[in-house]
Chain A
């Protein structure tokens, strides 16, 4: 058997990256721990936690994957009027503005069905919508900066950008949710 399929070789490649990413994720866990009181008081906000993290990470990783492909094809110019940059950024915003209000309504509905909610549907949708709008802008910014850095340093964007963007967006998901909850609730 060639060595790259041995468990030892796979673990040697992956474990260091996984440990670094875990430290980043624990930072977002720390933010959650900080506002645990509010989350336990309003369970419909707790319902929003995994989906907000996941959606932010997925929006970032899809954008990163699409831009990486364009970089590989040599089509991305990094000019402010580049149609691939602008088009993908607009799509990310559009996706966030479509999906986050639905996610908010879904979270409210699910929590109402299983246990009843202390917050109105308007508040939960507003929290989800506000978080989504801010997160989409941040996801675009983080992805562009990371993709540009990988490009300048001659790194393969597939290797670097997707894990960095996904995990940074995970953390931002929690931070933004926290900030919006502070403002709205």
Chain B
């Protein structure tokens, strides 16, 4: 293959996936752009945004890849059966990882900002927001990943190629939207 052929093939294959995830990223950006009031009310919240979005992608991307491999190997059936120990284990681990890592990010962000003497919201506020956002986004993304991977597989699509784009596209939108929701809940409760 010539350089030109390699480049043309790589460009053609990647463009649709990147374009779709770009649209998802823009939606997430519009929600973030509308969060000025919350970002001002909770100093330090913006510092959490990249970590929380990446956690959604890393945790639920891995859940999708795990389910896709298991379908290929015939280890699980493509239907939502919570009596299946493997399916239940994978989902429980993803949810626990997602929430724990979100809490860790909130604590570390608070410590860094406090040590450097920057303005930062109380620890309870940041931890409460990260925990609530982590749990709600986890439930929504689990439903999206399991649904798309199982339905796609039943319709004859390769779940390996479905899981990645679904997570990158929905992960950002769900990640920012649940962050907004969690912030409103915590501020509504009086900031913990």
Residues of chain A touching chain B, judged by Cβ–Cβ distance below 8 Å, are 1, 5-8, 10-11, 14-15, 17-19, 21-23, 25-26, 28-30, 32-33, 36, 39-40, 43-44, 46-55, 57-59, 62, 66, 83-84, 86-88, 90-92, 94-95, 98-99, 102-103, 106-107, 110-111, 114-115, 163, 166-167, 170-171, 174
10 A-B pairs in the complex with CB atoms less than 8 angstroms apart: A10-B94, A15-B97, A15-B101, A43-B36, A44-B33, A62-B17, A62-B18, A83-B3, A94-B11, A171-B50
Chain A residues near B32: list those with CB within 8 A: 46-47, 49-50
Nearest-CB distance from B174 to chain A (Å)? 12
Identify which of A39, A83, A90, A98 contacts B1 (C-beta below 8 A): A83
Closest to B86 in A: A5
Closest to B52 in A: A25
Determine chain B's interface SS by DSSP, over half rule.
Answer: helix
Of A28, A29, A39, A87, the most chain B CB neighbours within 10 A belong to A29
Chain A residues near B118: list those with CB within 8 A: 33
Spot the interface stretch: B102-110, B136-144, B149-157: B102-110
Question: When the two chains form their complex, are residues B18 and A22 in contact, meaning their CB atoms are under 8 A apart?
Answer: no
**Which range holds the interface residue count of chain B?**
35 or more
Chain B residues near A48: list those with CB within 8 A: 29
Nearest-CB distance from A50 to chain B (Å)? 4
Question: When the two chains form their complex, are residues B112 and A30 in contact, meaning their CB atoms are under 8 A apart?
Answer: yes
**B30 contacts partner chain A, Cβ-Cβ < 8 Å:** yes
Nearest-CB distance from A166 to chain B (Å)? 8
Closest to A84 in B: B6
Question: When the two chains form their complex, are residues A32 and B50 in contact, meaning their CB atoms are under 8 A apart?
Answer: yes
Nearest-CB distance from A110 to chain B (Å)? 5
Question: When the two chains form their complex, are residues B18 and A58 in contact, meaning their CB atoms are under 8 A apart?
Answer: yes
